[in-house]
Structure 1
């Protein structure tokens, strides 16, 4: 059974029916292979054996027995429970995995199909691989698809080979045999994309290929290589199609992955181990992101993807991106206010790697392997035993635990769940119960206390405690947090000391991290600016801008615009209004390109309007104030209130001039 589980969608449907009568009814409606049990112990043993970390099981049962349902509820491998019963017995509301009780199979199916779609989106989202391991070494799995597709030495198999093997895989499932026969009789490589429609053509893509992609199953991938080749012949560089290349993908991700994304935005490259079905509709992707999940420690995530450098194909509302497309992580932020303010969604901005840079990345890896005496063939042959080792350890390629999750306590995990929902006080309470909190926990608590609870003394205490036990990189990062708190407390001399110490550490690291140095320079410059040390402040801002424009990879236009805004304000205070306006205009131009819909565009427009007002150009001041309001329709947002106050001052000035 465990071997067969590789040859499916990664979603297991298990029927628990003590009367052993229900399976024939549900089998008529669902193509997925199913197995039925009438003994609970055997059912749970089977689920434990077949369900790997990046897979999920859905239970369909006729039982309303509390003991049975609580057993399903307690399993981390079970995503959802559907009950088929005519009983009116109320179900315990604490059993959150129970979707509903249905008296007719046909009433159950629409909800079941929706759940299966949601799980598939989560599995694809959870197939993320990072370019590097936690220790900074190469993550070999990241390179798998590029090398498998370009260097694979296995013999080229055909549609007939796939059909023969598939009939063995799915014997004796009559429905699967029917769709396999249809594929064998009707498939044409010129129309390969038609066969990824899971409802009309569940074989081969949905029922065989999707999970093999996520698990790097070379046996299955060898069988379907011809199909993947036929698919990708339809793909083009999306920027060449002269259609919008902005796409979105909404899903749930484990807190561990989101935590790593948040801490790796300056340098990290990621790839999804699938053909990613992104959508052109932000609203649709957001709806998918905020759908409820019954898995623990999951966060709503919306990927905002610039796919111009990627290969893919537009299919109605969907943009299907090539398998394992590598992306730079540009920015990670948490936004509140979705779903009547009850949902916190983490926004992850991705940009597909430039094709030249992508080629250099893979060629560099190949050369590194050659220097180590390893061939690509060695690499591919080693992949299979690596997969088996991961399975025996209860891991999948797309969801291996980072060192963060290996060292996390239950209280910190609970705190992270509160953070994902924006419940800041509860998060602090959970972290306060951790004995001997780590540097990571203390800094995390300090940031929440400063940013969301405005408790600066408590934030200062957390970061000071962290500094006492911090070493190396942690020490520099903690000093930056401390500098930020001191600046917020208007103790700018202390802030300056912290930033200066952090800068000394960052600049003496080998290799240097230009993003960290730039971030430190921005904080140091703000301290100098607040102390009216304008020459020193300008020097810091210029150095930070140079790093962000020339050395920080990938380029982050939001950070560059922030530097320009700082420079504009410093130059304004120095009396150089011409250069101040030039910086403010450049910041607005950049944000117009990358930040439409982002509050920072409204802030930059408001800043530009204020500068025009100081210069006496009231029409341009009013024009930019109005653009700021148009860019941020959210009532009571601080940036909008600031703009309205500026307009009120402008109205008063013009009224006085007229009188």
Structure 2
């Protein structure tokens, strides 16, 4: 599901419901309000995955409550509404202030919101090379995106329709969207950057999509972004014109990297950057008092001679992702070097020749390794998730399967914005899915009267993937099959094949995958993506039944389609096929070929580095093959590399690799 909003979430913990309504009425975006501490903390923890920064407002002054919030990484600032006279220095460092008057609280809330939004823009900075010296592909995203598929621009009407779907449950924002629909003129696009008077679409939708490279939002908002880019002009030449400033706060780790890369690297902010000609104003913003730890006051001193800009009153808006050369980083410290006061980062915008040269060299390097522009855009944000949540019982499989992580058919459970209307309950379910609140999403879908095929399949996928309720998932997909027609029926057959496979009813899985494959192969305009998906499912089912020749044939056919016919090329799907080929060949006794395919999977994922989890699975599988054929040193090497890809100590892939290393240790003890 597309991400919406500014990238900042306001959460209110108000045990006695004193301030919730006031803040809700004052805010443009919806807020989350809680009366019970465990529910509030649980919500914040569950939503940490969406990477939105949280401003927490509370009426509690109790130490244990504030310490609980202090320990949550996604909370950036805490504001307290209370008449308490406690000294600020005695409170946790994330507490911005205590406010006895609601108008002062609201003023501080808006100021904090503005400050954090500036920090998010600053934190969007990307270096054109990674620390190991290789290309940082994300750096070049907008240089390519702006010139690729320029004819595929969504009309304003469609953009408005999609925005209404995204903000379906927020009546205040729907009203703002309506104002945009009737009033917007492309020549007046700069007026629509006013956060408080015209918050849609830039601040409520586009700004965070720019920072996060959210291609779904960017696709729908492309015409607005193009209108904005059209306003960007060369800045007037002269010393009084080309110098602009941007004040903010940055983590010291980023400042360290800026200093280390001086004169060696190029950076770009993934946004339209709001700068100012006033050094005093930028300096005031940079040095605002803060209680945040490990943050540096930073003043960017920017030579914008070669940048494209737009004038907005006192501000200068610099074109999105403008590349800058770092020329100098100066750190000024207080007495004795104890307190860092200000870091000045001097930047010079690249001229047009150097910008084109930089991009051209990157594209040539990509072509040299066989990658196209479509590959690049597809890999920037993975559009398909490989489902690795299934397990097999070891007694029915070969030795390698006890240690490997099987890769199965891709299952997509998120909403597609198709022609079927999205009701309020489904929209609410999608919100819960985005937050990782699976049980609540299932409850919302279950409330829908006469659900359509999309809803039933979404419901079934959630039950299978997230709640491990296979009977419930089977019932949902069976109901969907009764209602589905044409392609919808074929896709539902694939979902049923996945469920039957998980239930170890492999004959039924084969039956449903085969029926789906027949439908897709009969189509006049064949879809290689769906045909390959059916073949992968058939290959997995045959492998589980020890029908290795059939398993190999299906997987080889799927691999050929994904390598030769699927456009744009999806390295994740190709690597999944390569890994499955390795496992099947190992079971056939062809160790040499098994290692070859398993290595190809690892090499492909290592070079693209799209998905560390799938790379961990591939490394684990390669180690399992080495372990099964007695090469314990090699096995240990790949198991340990798998560990490096999964820092989360509780993730099943890390646990799998640790268990494999433990088995190696036991094996070595037995041999000594």
TM over 0.5: yes
Residue 23 (1) aligns with residue 20 (2): yes
Residue 303 (1) aligns with residue 296 (2): no
CA distance in 2, matches of 1:160, 1:275: 25
Query: Do the aligned residues in 2 keep the contact of 1:81 with 1:98 (CA within 8 Å)?
Result: yes
CA distance in 2, matches of 1:189, 1:387: 34
Cα offset for 1:43? 1.5
Inter-CA distance 91–264: structure 2 relative to 1 (3 Å threshold):
closer
1:258 aligned partner: 255
Inter-CA distance 154–8: structure 2 relative to 1 (3 Å threshold):
farther
Unpaired runs of at least 5, structure 2? 387-672
Query: Do the aligned residues in 2 keep the contact of 1:63 with 1:85 (CA within 8 Å)?
Result: yes
Cα offset for 1:279? 0.8
Cα offset for 1:93? 1.8
Query: Do the aligned residues in 2 keep the contact of 1:54 with 1:123 (CA within 8 Å)?
Result: no
Give the one of 163, 167, 178 matched to 1:170: 167
Give the one of 57, 62, 67 matched to 2:64: 67
Inter-CA distance 55–375: structure 2 relative to 1 (3 Å threshold):
same
Query: Do the aligned residues in 2 keep the contact of 1:14 with 1:35 (CA within 8 Å)?
Result: yes
1:585 aligned partner: none
Residue 375 (1) aligns with residue 384 (2): no
Cα offset for 1:46? 2.1
Inter-CA distance 87–264: structure 2 relative to 1 (3 Å threshold):
closer
CA distance in 2, matches of 1:153, 1:41: 48
CA distance in 2, matches of 1:296, 1:265: 25
Query: Do the aligned residues in 2 keep the contact of 1:54 with 1:126 (CA within 8 Å)?
Result: no
| CA deviation profile, 1:622-649 (whole Å, cap 9, x unmatched) | xxxxxxxxxxxxxxxxxxxxxxxxxxxx
CA distance in 2, matches of 1:65, 1:232: 49
The alignment partner of 2:199 has SS state of: coil
CA distance in 2, matches of 1:249, 1:229: 24
Cα offset for 1:247? 0.5
The alignment partner of 1:151 has SS state of: coil
Query: Do the aligned residues in 1 keep the contact of 2:96 with 2:290 (CA within 8 Å)?
Result: no
Cα offset for 1:245? 1.0
Superposed, 1:559-638 pairs within 5 Å as: none
Cα offset for 1:20? 4.1
Cα offset for 1:333? 1.1
The alignment partner of 2:147 has SS state of: helix
- How many residues align? The count is 386
Query: Do the aligned residues in 1 keep the contact of 2:251 with 2:294 (CA within 8 Å)?
Result: yes
Unpaired runs of at least 5, structure 1? 390-659
Inter-CA distance 245–256: structure 2 relative to 1 (3 Å threshold):
same
1:202 aligned partner: 199
Superposed, 1:20-419 pairs within 5 Å as: 20=17, 22-51=19-48, 55-86=52-83, 93-152=90-149, 155-239=152-236, 244-336=241-333, 344-385=341-382
CA distance in 1, matches of 2:238, 2:225: 22
Output the TM-score relative to the length of structure 2: 0.54
Cα RMSD of the aligned pairs, angstroms, is: 2.6
Inter-CA distance 193–219: structure 2 relative to 1 (3 Å threshold):
same
2:551 aligned partner: none
| CA deviation profile, 1:187-216 (whole Å, cap 9, x unmatched) | 000100100011111111111111111100
CA distance in 2, matches of 1:33, 1:96: 26
Query: Do the aligned residues in 2 keep the contact of 1:26 with 1:105 (CA within 8 Å)?
Result: no
CA distance in 1, matches of 2:51, 2:344: 22
| CA deviation profile, 1:474-521 (whole Å, cap 9, x unmatched) | xxxxxxxxxxxxxxxxxxxxxxxxxxxxxxxxxxxxxxxxxxxxxxxx
CA distance in 2, matches of 1:343, 1:238: 33
Output the TM-score relative to the length of structure 1: 0.55
Cα offset for 1:283? 0.9
After TM superposition, the structure 1 stretch with the greater mean CA deviation from structure 2, 183-192 or 377-386, is 377-386
Inter-CA distance 49–66: structure 2 relative to 1 (3 Å threshold):
same
1:559 aligned partner: none
Query: Do the aligned residues in 2 keep the contact of 1:64 with 1:91 (CA within 8 Å)?
Result: no
1:452 aligned partner: none
Inter-CA distance 150–18: structure 2 relative to 1 (3 Å threshold):
same
Cα offset for 1:86? 4.6
